Chains A and B, each alone.
Chain A
Amino acid sequence: MGAYDGHIGAREGSVLLFTVLGSMLFLQYPQYLVSVGGPAAWQAALLVALFGLVLALPIVALGYRFPGRGLAEISREVAGSVFGPLLTLAVSAWIAVAALVTLRNFTETFVITIVPDTPPSVLIISGSLLSVYAAYRGVEAVARTALALLPVIAAGGLLVLIFSLPRVDTTLLFPIWGFGFDRTLMGSLYYASTAAEVIVLLAVGHAFRDGRSLQHSSLRGILLFGLAAAATVAVLVGIAGAPLARQEPFPLYFLARLVYLGRFLQRTEALIVMFWILAALIRLSALMSATAISLAGALRLPDYRPLLFPLATILSALSLLPKDYVAVLRLDREWMRPLGFAVLAVPLLLWLLAVVRGKAAAPSGEAAGHAS
């Protein structure tokens, strides 16, 4: 990119990915895992993370082969000036749809749970404007915001889990492998594309100084997400039991409402949800940045910033298209997740092409000059 965007370190990158993925825990993702694994949902969470790690390996390999380059530059160099930008456009379209689904999903969640009188358009416009602002300040700012807000967001999740522990019935976590090993394994494989958002890191790959930073960010981010998801669904199933947990549309909110530490600390879900809003905004900002940067790269624009506002306007308008919350969920579950595999296939394809065609970045100088 032409404008200065700064750099993302390994710590910031991993926290960014963790927040991008982890924010889904506040939505329906725990419900998906329970539907796959039942009492063994926590094992499904770990399996999903494991599969996600495997699927992210081509991204890591590309990061090492093309340090300091983003998806747009890599695809153009590897797949040529026609096919490369088309691949980038396809990926950016998926990220854009992920952004609009996120926007609508969080909006519906907040409206249903804590702000029933607020028009969804207010939430959508607020979220879009803030994500534009964050993306405008640069992907470095988004990653650093994720790191700075991590204690708050983690507290929002951890406090719920810790305060819910007294209600956990460990017998509800058995039998091991829940509905059966095969079903848990196959279900986990289906949801492995949950980690497809790791493509965001490749899209902003120019912000990583080297392949090692990208590797640490990708793998640590997915691993942290897997652990957080396992802990969340374990507590959820331990309290509600698999049948009830599978039907709960807002599992973590359900847990938050149960928090009661005497009469002094009660009904704190509104405060806790406030922390989740921060996670949602980080996810949205990261997706918006990645979409705009990929688009600008594919279209060979010198800067991505002019795209942000039009992009946000289009996404906000499109996010209102699904007629209801169920339509949003179906879009996410039946289209976005399966297409996530296709998105993750792009880095694999690029890596194979790079290996076959012997393409790699110049060993030094160019990447460093680009990044600075």
Chain B
Amino acid sequence: MSIWERLMRWLNPASATTDDAFSLGRRGPGQDDGGQSAAMLADARLRTDALLTRLDRLAEAVPQGKDALKRVGDLSTNLDENVEKLKKLFRAPANKDLVEREILIATEPPTRAVLLFMEGLSDKTVINDNLLQPLMLLSYELHLTPEKGPSAVDQVEQRILAGHQVSRKYDRASVAEALLAGDTVLLVEGAAVALVVETKDPPTRSVGDPKIEQVIWGPHDAFNEAWRVNVALVRRRLKDPRLVTEILTVGDVSKTYVGMMYIDTIAPPRLVDEVRRRVQAVKVDIVNGSGILQQYIDDSPRSLLPATLITERPDRTAAYLSEGHVALFVDTAPHAIICPATFWSLLQTAEDYYLRWPFGSTLRHIRFAALLVSLLLPSLYIGVVNYHPEMIPTELLLFIAQSREPVPMPAVVELLTMEVIFELIREAGARIPGVIGPTVGLVASLVLGQAAVEARIVSPVMILVVAVTGLASFALPNYLMGWGVRLLRFLLLLLTTVFGFLGLATGIYALVVYTTSLRSFGVPYLAPVVGTTGRVKDALGTPPLYRQEERPPFMHPLNRYRQAEVVRNWDPRAPQTDTPDKGG
């Protein structure tokens, strides 16, 4: 670069962006990335080729009947062509995850074959012991003399492969799907079919403790990221052949498995159909977790309160399934989505049922009080201090006035400042890694609170209000509901600041109207307290277990009763009945 050019670049920084500088965007019509277009064209050609082949074979198979139609695919009888096209599909050799192993099956004469699997997703021990050894060594002892092509595939499938699940695939898309799921694919010379052997071994962690829904009294296992493990954890608790697991796939790129669980003859078929319909309607590139799927299937995705319940507890999921709910397990998400959910279910925990009913009911009342405190306390404080100080007992009023006297800010600014600081501490505590997170949070809250009071930025009463509000918000068992309540608290605070108790009342009214009009998969959100007929059970309180004969009526379960009318029939004091057992 000449001195003149250097000088020009220094004087005009814009000239530094030359045509050879890297940019993802286009710079004029001549700057189109030819490589990208070629890649897209090649991909389209590959798909079109597969489609045309399938159409040709479909036309050929139509006169041959149903069985022939099932075997229609785009795989070739030429082994090299199949391997080549699959490698193209997976962008090999650039993509190093696709492993190709060419072998000779020890038949007479030897049969050429290729084994394909994805690195890291498959169990190599199974591949070595159950596939390669039988194919290359043990088959020799069988003295098989198959003809080339389909006959060889039959022999391999029925006599050599020791995999516990073997299936046949006839098109490249299915083969690719199986490979990406962790299965191993065997392609045999002369056969337009692939044998898929179950060798899945995706990286998973073991079953651990719940992180959010801990209990003192009850099981301590929680879901992990492998949805099959999660299904097994539930099935372990519900040993009923009516428990159905359907597999749905969402995400054009992620191809995420979604397991849909329900108990046939208990879950309403309309609910099952609706859940399936909503999941299948999700047309996106990627669904990476239950929180994402939840937003796609929720009745009111803009609502601050969730209309489906996300839980990490297998026992809770099993309990909901037994009431007629549907559970969704998203692969890679350590949660289940329970459909539908009511407002009251967000205030409940598994422990409510493990404890005796008076304790469970008390816990629920405490949580409801926590909800009210978390939502309303700051607004009530501002309403009283700013608009109705006459409500405060005189001594307390004088103390508040005295403590607020050195604080230069209005009460609402003081409160908002403390609330924001509290949220900062909470967020920082959650993000700081390891065990020091809570410690830092505690220290920060203590030090900041003390310092703020001494610096006369806030009054001691305000610290109390914010601390109690924060404590109450931690008592809410549902994480998403906690978020909603926090935001609603700020909205109500704003209304109260401007309009006093009038604003608070109007805010509460709008909130209740909104909540009562919400539905979750057709179920009123405030059911069973509002929107259903009959006695209100198992909402704000926990009735004794032996009195919970019926499943929740708002679920319209096919089988209304979950236990006999008199469960404690050994008890001479229990009312006896002649009616037959209605449980199950």
Contacts and interface: CB of A to CB of B under 8 A. Distances in A.
Interface of A: 9-12, 110, 114-115, 118, 122-123, 126, 130, 133-134, 137-138, 140-142, 144-145, 147-149, 263-264, 266-268, 270-271, 273-275, 277-278, 281-282, 285
Interface of B: 387-388, 390-391, 393-395, 499-502, 504-506, 508-510, 512-517, 524, 526, 529-533
Contacts of B510: 130, 133
Main secondary structure on B side of the interface with A: helix
Given A110-B502, A130-B506, A144 B516 contact: yes
Which 5 residue pairs are nearest across A and B when measured between Cβ atoms?
A141-B517, A144-B516, A277-B505, A137-B517, A270-B388
A99 B531 CA distance: 26
A277 B526 contact: no
A371 to B, nearest CB: 15
B506 A126 contact: yes
Nearest to A270: B388
Contacts of A268: 391
Given A115-B500, A148-B530, A278-B508, A134 B513 contact: yes
Contacts of B499: 118, 122, 126
A278 B513 contact: no
Contact of B524 (A110, A144, A281): A144
Given A12-B530, A144-B530, A277-B501, 9 more contacts: A12-B531, A130-B510, A134-B509, A147-B530, A148-B529, A148-B530, A263-B394, A263-B395, A275-B505
Contact of B526 (A133, A138, A142, A144): A144
A141 B518 CA distance: 9
A115 B509 CA distance: 18
Given A263-B394, A266-B391, A270-B388, A142 B505 contact: no
Contact of A264 (B393, B509, B533): B393
Contacts of A133: 510, 513
A2 to B, nearest CB: 17
B512 A270 contact: no
Nearest to A276: B505
A186 B395 CA distance: 52
A263 to B, nearest CB: 5
A148 B533 CA distance: 14
A126 B530 contact: no
Given A144-B516, A144-B524, A267 B391 contact: yes
Contacts of B533: 9-11
13 contacts: A12-B531, A126-B499, A134-B509, A134-B513, A140-B517, A145-B512, A148-B515, A148-B516, A149-B509, A271-B391, A271-B501, A274-B504, A281-B506
Contacts of A281: 505-506, 509
Nearest to B394: A263
A266 B512 contact: no
A142 to B, nearest CB: 7
B393 A278 contact: no
A266 B393 contact: yes
Contacts of B391: 266-268, 270-271
B513 A115 contact: no
A47 B284 CA distance: 65
Given A270-B388, A271-B391, A281-B506, A148 B501 contact: no
B507 to A, nearest CB: 10
B53 to A, nearest CB: 49
B537 to A, nearest CB: 15
B318 to A, nearest CB: 30
B531 A115 contact: no
Given A263-B394, A267-B390, A149 B502 contact: no
A159 to B, nearest CB: 14
A299 to B, nearest CB: 25
Contacts of B517: 137-138, 140-141, 144
Main secondary structure on A side of the interface with B: helix
Contacts of A114: 501
Contacts of B516: 137, 140-141, 144-145, 148
Contacts of A148: 512, 515-516, 526, 529-530
A261 to B, nearest CB: 11
Contacts of B530: 12, 144, 147-148
Nearest to B500: A115
B501 A270 contact: yes
Which one of A134, A138, A268, A275 has the greatest number of beta carbons of chain B within 10 Å? A134
A287 to B, nearest CB: 15
Contacts of A147: 529-530
Contacts of A142: 513
A273 to B, nearest CB: 7
Contact of A118 (B390, B502, B513): B502
A119 to B, nearest CB: 12
Which one of B391, B395, B530 has the greatest number of beta carbons of chain A within 10 Å? B530
Nearest to A118: B502
Which one of B502, B508, B532 has the greatest number of beta carbons of chain A within 10 Å? B502
B509 to A, nearest CB: 5
A115 B533 CA distance: 39
A274 B501 contact: yes
A95 to B, nearest CB: 20
A9 B510 CA distance: 22
A115 B502 contact: yes
A285 B516 CA distance: 14
A67 B506 CA distance: 35
A11 B529 CA distance: 11
Contacts of A277: 501-502, 505-506, 509
A118 B516 CA distance: 30
A141 B517 CA distance: 5
A371 B390 CA distance: 51
B501 A273 contact: yes
B78 to A, nearest CB: 59
A278 B524 CA distance: 21
A263 B393 contact: yes
Given A11-B533, A267-B390, A277-B506, A149 B512 contact: yes
A56 B540 CA distance: 35
B302 to A, nearest CB: 14
Contacts of B529: 147-148
Contact of B509 (A9, A11, A145, A263): A145
Given A133-B510, A141-B516, A148-B512, A270 B505 contact: no
Contact of B514 (A115, A137, A275): A137
B130 to A, nearest CB: 57
A130 B495 CA distance: 14
Contacts of B526: 144, 148
B513 A141 contact: yes
A267 B506 CA distance: 22
Given A133-B513, A144-B531, A263-B393, A270 B506 contact: no
Given A11-B533, A148-B530, A267-B391, A126 B514 contact: no
A274 B505 contact: yes
Contacts of A11: 533
Nearest to A143: B516
A118 B512 CA distance: 25
A129 to B, nearest CB: 9
Contacts of A118: 499, 502
B502 to A, nearest CB: 6
Contacts of A134: 509, 513
B531 A278 contact: no
Contacts of A122: 499
A336 B329 CA distance: 60
Nearest to A152: B508
Contacts of B531: 9, 12, 144
A263 B514 CA distance: 38
A281 B500 CA distance: 17
A122 B495 CA distance: 13
B339 to A, nearest CB: 20
B494 to A, nearest CB: 14
A147 B166 CA distance: 59
Nearest to B391: A267
